[in-house]
Structure 1
Amino acid sequence: MKLRSLIRSSCLVIGITGAFGIHTYAETIEDLEDRQSELQNERADVQQNIEDARSEVNQVLTDLEELNQELEQLNETLEENQRTMDETEEKVDQTENEVDQLEDEIEQIEKDIEIRREIIKERLISYHRNGGDIAYIEVILGSKNMGQFISRSNAVKKIMDSDKQLIQEQQEDKATVENKQNKVLSKLQELKDMQTELQGMISLIEDQKDAAKEKQKSLKDKQSELLALQDELQIKDSELANMQQQVKNEIAQKQAEQQTETIVLASHQSSGNDEGSSVVHTSKSKSKQSKQSQQTKSAPTANGNISTAINSGYAHLGTPYRWGGKTTAGFDCSGFIHWAFKQAGISVPGSTAGLSSTGTKISYSQAQPGDLVFFNTYKTNGHVGIYLGNGKFIGSQNSTGLAVADMTQGYWKSKFAGHVRRVR
């Protein structure tokens, strides 16, 4: 960080200028001119440090502004998710009421079924004679004449058809109740799963807010430290300017004396009997270190269709996060993975649970662009993205939408546990 180097260099300048303040008298014009040159160099260093500190302050202000915007966006996303959570809770309550109503309905239908059973039972008993067991065929055969036979046959047929209809209605009622029960319970489970997902997202946003606030505090502390350093450097610059003026005045005075006392000065210099103490100056050597360019390790190159999956997202950066989304109108994390690989003609699951077991598990040290990286957010493997190389990944984040993020620092580093899958 530049701040530490600024503090070290400013302390060095302060120490040197303090040493200059010990002697306010130089013996010769050459000594004074050397000192003037050194003061000028030191003042240039101080002014450069002031400029560096000012640049860092400006960068900190820019970072703070971006962080404030990020916090504002996080708050908006949090409010939106909280509204969705409230709506989901209302739906859960409504569905639970439906379950209660359905239980009452089931109870009533079971009572109706029991009544129908009693009717059938009584109808059968009505054909018993003196405690004897007479079947329908006996009723028919017991007819005294053809008219009675036909009448009894028609009656028995109607009774049998009615009994058959009652039994069929019983079975249909049971099927209807079971179907309603399954649908309502499925709906209730779906809503509860959605509650869990939403709660996880809210927790994720809260974590991101805490991380952003911690960074905000760090930046404000840095800003205060830089401003204090700026003030101190400004004071030192003023002191150096005053010392420069003093040396300039001394040079002018020496030049005037030299013009009027040339002979006396020459005599004193040749005899070596100069009055006053001589000041020994040590030349100050400065070595400036050349800046070494840091060579960034190039990432492995993805081949074939995997490259298509990687590159498909860049044209849609900024696409908003949408829970369950799998289109360019809005993605959630697993929905984006499903969509991106689909562009490359590769079929992968559309959920983090499914993706976490897709392909082959590899170590992070073997990761190549196109591999899937997982993060333990609100749950194990709760978030997923496509690795791009050099510690970067692309994914649909709840707070930023589709974006490229750094998994080597900050929030994502803390949530990455090394789970990487290769889809090949």
Structure 2
Amino acid sequence: MKKSIAMLTTIGAVLFSSAFLHTTVEANPLQDIQNERAEIQADLSAAEEKIADVMIELEELNKKIEQVNNALTANEEKMKDTKSKIESTREEIAVIEGEISELEEDIERRFEILKQRMVSFQQSGGDISFLEVLFGAENFGDLISRVSAITKIAESDEQLMKEQEEDKTALEEKQGSVEQKLADLTAMKDELEAMQATILTQKEQNEADKKELKEKQEHLVALKTELENKDSSLAAVAAEIQRRAAARESSNSIVATSTTSGGGELTTLSKKEDKAPVKSVSKAPSGSISTVLNAGMPYLNSLPYVWGGGSPRTGFDCSGFVSWAFAQAGINIPSSTSALQSVGTKVSYSNIRPGDLVFFNTYKTNGHVGIYLGNGKFIGSQSSTGVAIAGMTSGYWDDHFAGHVRRVY
């Protein structure tokens, strides 16, 4: 690829050399061009395959990003629900703590009842043991009464103690269950937060991968465009070499007829042109058509579109660029689309060749003009890009091309 510029320079020199040099050297540059184009086209195919691979990767990555975003949303909803349950559980614990407080107060009250009963028993029987109370009975009936009273007090105390233990056990079980529930919810919340962090990290990595793929795609597209431009330039040079070779072959086939008249002057008959004379060309060309085709190459995508512009200093509009490019080869043509649409000779699109003017019906009929490069591409100053190469076999320019082609050389 690096030898393209040197090759184009060499070919340019060959195009202006003598007929002898043409016959002995020209075949090699043409073969070199064909070899170079084959390399470029192979690189183009490789670039297109890589672009296709990148697009597939981007599509797959977009699916992953969508999945991660869905997981992120679902995890956020789960976290929200878990936090809500944690708040509810804390409220439930607060209620249980209130119940605990009330139960503790009941237990305290029951303890006071037992205490009072014991005091009452001691007041009735004195500061003595149960046995002494029984032995202190005055008669058998009094003994039975005392035994019955002691039994009832014991049974009542036993029932109160049993209820106290049951309430305490139930309270502890309920408290433990709710505390376990809170612990489980808190652990779930911590796990969800860790999962959220992992998902966010994955999302950031996916976005970084997507950015890298986009940059790779842009680089490949730029490389493809560069290769297409080089291929178009080489195609134009090859076409010029072939055209000049064909012209020499046709010139060599013309039979020179000489007659002696008067002072013996030799008259040579030239080939008659089979097309109308070029209009508005003020002088014979001083350069080849390759000069026209390559004039704008140094300014690709760097000079803006300027209405009425006609030089690299100011920028170009479409007709100004075309007129300037031909002027570099010593071919003077008008600098307005209205005048250019009738200059030279009209040719059919089936006979188009590099260097022909192509017109497009944009804001008006023949409102835009460019220079055909070959392979369905033309160079011109476009309103959106400035000086650039564009394809005319599909898309916008194909839609606006009506087949108007002019030849001015």
Q: Report whether the alignment pairs 1:174 with 2:168.
A: yes
How many Å apart are 1:257 and its aligned residue? 5.6
Aligned partner (choices 97, 110, 135) of residue 129 of structure 2: 135
How many Å apart are 1:251 and its aligned residue? 2.4
Larger-gyration structure (1/2): 2
Quick one: distance in 2 between partners of 1:211 and 1:18?
48
Aligned partner (choices 175, 183, 188) of residue 189 of structure 1: 183
Q: Report whether the alignment pairs 1:24 with 2:15.
A: yes
Q: SS at the partner of 2:187?
A: helix
What corresponds to 1:53 in structure 2? 47
Task: Provide the TM-score with structure 2 as the length reference.
Answer: 0.58
Matches within 5 A, 1:395-414: none
Q: Report whether the alignment pairs 1:208 with 2:199.
A: no
Query: Contact 2:103–2:167 at 8 Å: present in 1 too?
Result: yes
Matches within 5 A, 1:332-411: none
Quick one: distance in 1 between partners of 2:114 and 2:76?
56
CA 1:209–1:149: 2 relative to 1, 3 Å: same
Aligned partner (choices 216, 219, 237) of residue 231 of structure 2: 237
Give per-residue Cα distances to partners, 1:370-392, cap 9 Å, x unaligned: xxxxxxxxxxxxxxxxxxxxxxx
**Aligned AA for 1:161?**
E
Query: Contact 2:125–2:133 at 8 Å: present in 1 too?
Result: no
CA 1:28–1:20: 2 relative to 1, 3 Å: closer
Quick one: distance in 2 between partners of 1:246 and 1:48?
23
Q: Report whether the alignment pairs 1:104 with 2:98.
A: yes
CA 1:132–1:144: 2 relative to 1, 3 Å: closer
Give per-residue Cα distances to partners, 1:164-208, cap 9 Å, x unaligned: 221222222222222222111111111111111111111111111
Percent identity over the alignment is: 37
How many Å apart are 1:19 and its aligned residue? 4.8
Query: Contact 2:40–2:231 at 8 Å: present in 1 too?
Result: yes
Greater relative CO, 1 or 2 (CA 8 Å, sep 6+): 1
**Aligned AA for 2:121?**
Y
What corresponds to 2:336 in structure 1? none
CA 1:46–1:113: 2 relative to 1, 3 Å: same
Quick one: distance in 1 between partners of 2:86 and 2:147?
56
Quick one: distance in 2 between partners of 1:19 and 1:150?
141
Matches within 5 A, 1:52-91: 52-91=46-85
**Aligned AA for 1:143?**
A
**Aligned AA for 1:190?**
D
Q: SS at the partner of 1:144?
A: coil
CA 1:131–1:158: 2 relative to 1, 3 Å: closer
How many Å apart are 1:253 and its aligned residue? 3.8
How many Å apart are 1:259 and its aligned residue? 5.7
Give per-residue Cα distances to partners, 1:185-239, cap 9 Å, x unaligned: 1111111111111111111111111111111111111212222222221111111
Query: Contact 1:96–1:188 at 8 Å: present in 2 too?
Result: yes
Q: SS at the partner of 1:128?
A: helix
Quick one: distance in 2 between partners of 1:183 and 1:191?
12
Structure 1 vs Structure 2 CA RMSD: 2.3
Query: Contact 1:106–1:177 at 8 Å: present in 2 too?
Result: yes
Query: Contact 1:33–1:251 at 8 Å: present in 2 too?
Result: no
Quick one: distance in 1 between partners of 2:9 and 2:148?
128
Quick one: distance in 2 between partners of 1:70 and 1:124?
78
What corresponds to 2:376 in structure 1? none
**Aligned AA for 1:25?**
F
**Aligned AA for 2:16?**
Y
Q: SS at the partner of 1:162?
A: helix
Query: Contact 1:29–1:255 at 8 Å: present in 2 too?
Result: no
Task: Provide the TM-score with structure 1 as the length reference.
Answer: 0.56
Quick one: distance in 2 between partners of 1:239 and 1:125?
120
Where structure 1 has 5 or more consecutive residues not aligned to the other structure, the ranges are 1-8, 262-424
